[in-house]
Structure 1
Amino acid sequence: MDHFLYRDGVLHAEDVPVPDIARVVSTPVYIYSAATLRRHFQVFDEALAGMDHLICYAMKANSNVAVVKLMGDMGAGVDVVSGGEYLRAKAAGIPGERIVFSGVGKTRDEMRLALEGGIRQFNLESEPEMRALSEVATAMGVTAPVTVRVNPDVDAKTHEKIATGKSENKFGIPIARAREVYAEIRDLPGLEAVGIDVHIGSQLTDLAPFRAAYEKVAELTGVLREDGHTITRLDLGGGLGIPYEHGNQAPPLPMEYGQVIRETVGDLGCEIEIEPGRLIAGNSGIMVSSVIYLKQGEGRNFLILDAAMNDLVRPSMYDAHHDIVPVTEAEPGVERAPFDIVGPVCESGDTFAKMRNLPPMTDGDLVAFRSAGAYGAVMASEYNSRPLIPEVLVDGDHFAVIRARPTYEEMIARDMVPEWL
């Protein structure tokens, strides 16, 4: 569900016509719907109703401070994976007791930052990291609450670059070694084990891998409790997919996902933490771009846009699909033709889609990339010295720029020329 719909033949973001935003902000531009963000948080909250739980928004999906604040105002915690994300969460007003710190390469400086500012827990991913945190916490005279991310060797059946729960992936500790790792935590100063963490991948469209992983976590919970560990939290990660392609079978609903949680770990008396990112943010955003040229090629036609792979890298990196639609709806019965939809960057990989059927388009027309709210702006770069594109948040009938497009002068001014040149 999202709030990007046609009215009188024009695509709207909630109650705002998309062309109005493009005229004020120019293109390309990311546009987010506050109503969609709120609704997607609510469906997860409803899915876990009656269970002690905390929804920790995985802000790597979209870390704009305005988006994170909107989540925090609804009671969400956040899952961060860097010191920068931690500081963004704090800037958005998220209290430390609602911040979970994940990631395989936390530095000692990041550990100190979180311990000084407040943290709900660190999700540990290796013994070296565990020992480093012990040293940092002991030197500061504090105790760090921790879970261990166990790798259950479950195939999430997703793209290889976003699978995280198989034995060959870099994430977590093999679940078979969990007992000895927790035993070492008990012996290390400055650490307190409070739960177990697991995350098997992103954009999952089948509940079976979740069930398999959570059943292993339930079994491990019993084993660790028998060993004398107090396990009060289960961080079950995120990963539930979204429908990127209109008309294809939709992934499972959060309510169905919640039922899997109830059936596998719901009777363990643990607080449940989940870390959705894509499902909350993905369909809450679109990227809007203008047509620069229509180019006739040998055997195919190209639609050249002012957006490029540096603005939305998912198609180039993952061969990811985004529905691309005209902002002005075509009249019924209008004949469509196939286009390769590309950007102006000097790379053959700067291709958003091949042979995509669209109605007649002309220079200056607007197109919208649907489901671009997650892993869009956060993965953007300034490749080819193209400024990062602005982000806009819509709420009802009004909108605001929540990240401005830098000028060329601002972008270039960040470079420094040594005195000896």
Structure 2
Amino acid sequence: MDHFLYRDGILHAEDVPLTEVAAAVGTPFYCYSTATLTRHFRLFDEALAGTDHLVCYAMKANSNQAVLTLMARLGAGADVVSGGEYARALAAGFPGDKIVFSGVGKTRAEMRAALTGGIRQFNLESEPEMEALNEVALSLGTVAPVTVRVNPDVDARTHEKIATGKSENKFGIPISRAREVYARAAALPGLRVVGIDVHIGSQLTDLEPYGQAFDKVAELTRALRADGHDIRRLDLGGGLGIPYERSNTAPPLPVEYGALVKEKLGHLSCEIEIEPGRLIAGNAGLLVAQVIYVKSGEGRDFVILDAAMNDLVRPAMYGAWHDIVPVVEPAPGVAPRPYDVVGPVCESGDTFAKQRNLPPIAAGDLVAFRSAGAYGAVMASEYNSRPLIPEVLVKDGNFGLVRQRPSYEDLIARDTIPEWL
């Protein structure tokens, strides 16, 4: 469910007509709903009710400072994967003891910053990283709380570029070596083992792979405890999918996911950490663009938008689907027709959809890409010297500009020319 509905023939974000936002900030822009973000966080929190748990918002999905501030005020933790995300989390009000640091390539500088500023745990991904963190912790006279990310070799049945739990993926250590690696971690004086970390992929639409992974985590928990390790936390990652294509079968609900967690792991008396990002932010955001031209080609018509692959890269990168809808509701009974929906960037890959059935479209019309709140603005670039587009947060009948569109002068001013030129 989201809070983007037609009202009096105009698509609204909560109580705000998107035509009003477009007039104020220009197109293209991202628009996020406070009510949807709040509801989706609470669905996860309520799904784990009755267990000791922490829902850590995966910042990589959407790291706008306003979105992060909302999550922190709702009581979420934060899952970060870089020094920049860690700094954003602190600035948004997340306390250090609610920040989990994930990622395969943490640098010593990032480790030092987190140990100094406060951290709940590091999710370690390799033995070299373990040795590095031990050295940094000892140099600061402290001990780093850690889990080790184990790779359970489970097929998440998702896109190959967002699968993370198979043996050929770069993430974690093979579960077959977990006892050996945990023994090494326990022997390092700068580390304190607190739990196990597992994450098998993103955009999962079936609970069965989770069940397989959780069974392996339960078995490993018992084995590590038998080895003398104090396993008190299970970080289960995120990855629950969202319905990008509304006509498809809906993915499992958070309450169903929560029930599976309790069934498979509830008997272990561990604190459960989960790291949802896409399911919290994805359907909470739209990308709104304007039609520049409608062009007739050889056997097909093209809708050319002022948004491009640099603004929303998922279709070009993954072949991802986003529902595209007109901001002004079409009249009842209007027959759709197929269009190729493209952007103005000088790449054939700058294509959002091919032969997509849409109501008749004309230059100047506004269209909205649904489910664009996650992995949209955060993956944007300034390719073709196109400025990053604005982000807007809506609450009830109000909206605020939470990231401004840079001017061309801003873009140029970031570059410097050496004296010898």
* Fold match by TM threshold 0.5: yes
Question: What secondary structure sits across from 2:325 in the alignment?
Answer: strand
Partner residue in 2 for 1:225: 225
CA distance in 2, matches of 1:169, 1:247: 31
RMSD: 0.4
Partner of 2:10: 10
Partner of 2:349: 349
Could you tell me which residue of structure 1 aligns to residue 42 of structure 2? 42
One-letter identity of the residue aligned with 2:175 = I
Task: Work out whether 1:69 is the aligned partner of 2:69.
Answer: yes
Give the structure 2 partner of residue 22 of structure 1: 22
The gaps in structure 1 that reach 5 residues or longer are: none
After superposition, the C-alpha distances for 1:325-380 in whole angstroms (9 at most, x for unaligned) are 00001001112211000000000000000001111211111000000000000000
> Match of 1:22, SS?
helix
Paired residue total: 421
CA shift digits 1:287-340 (9 cap, x unpaired): 000000000000000000000000000000000000000000100111221100
Q: Aligned residue for 2:307?
A: 307
Determine the structure 2 residue equivalent to 1:391.
Answer: 391
> Aligned partner of 2:152: which letter?
P
Counterparts of 1:166 and 1:140 in 2: how far apart (Å)? 36
What are the within-5 Å matches in structure 2 for residues 128-167 of structure 1?
128-167=128-167
Deviations 1:19-40 (CA, angstroms, capped at 9, x unpaired): 0000000000000000000000
DSSP 3-state at the match of 2:267: coil
Opposite residue 387 of structure 2, the aligned amino acid is P
Give the letter for the 1:251 counterpart. Answer: P
Counterpart position of 1:191: 191
The Cα offsets for residues 215-253 of structure 1, whole Å up to 9 and x where unpaired, read as 100000000000000000000000000000011100000
Report the 3-state secondary structure (helix = DSSP H, G, I; strand = E; otherwise coil) of the residue aligned with 2:268.
coil
Unaligned segments of structure 2, at least 5 residues: none
Question: Could you give the per-residue CA deviations for residues 9-53 of structure 1, whole angstroms, max 9, x where no partner exists?
Answer: 110000000000000000000000000000000100110000000
Which portions of structure 1, spanning 4 or more consecutive aligned residues, are displaced by more than 4 angstroms?
none
Counterpart Cα distance in 2 of 1:123 and 1:269: 20
In the other structure, the counterpart of 2:268 is 268
Report the secondary structure of 1:67's partner residue.
helix
Q: Which amino acid aligns with 2:194?
A: V
The 5 A counterparts of 1:233-382 are 233-382=233-382
Work out whether 1:112 is the aligned partner of 2:112: yes
Identity %: 75
- Find the counterpart in structure 2 of residue 81 from structure 1: 81
SS in 2 for 1:203: coil
Rounded Cα–Cα distance in structure 2 between residues aligned with 1:311 and 1:45 = 31
Counterpart secondary structure, 1:60: helix
2:107 corresponds to which letter in structure 1? T
User: Structure 2: how far apart are the matches of 1:368 and 1:308?
Assistant: 13
Q: Deviations over 1:150-184 (max 9, x none)?
A: 00000000000000000000000000101011111
What is the TM-score with the length of structure 1 in the denominator? 1.00
TM-score, structure 2 as length reference:
1.00
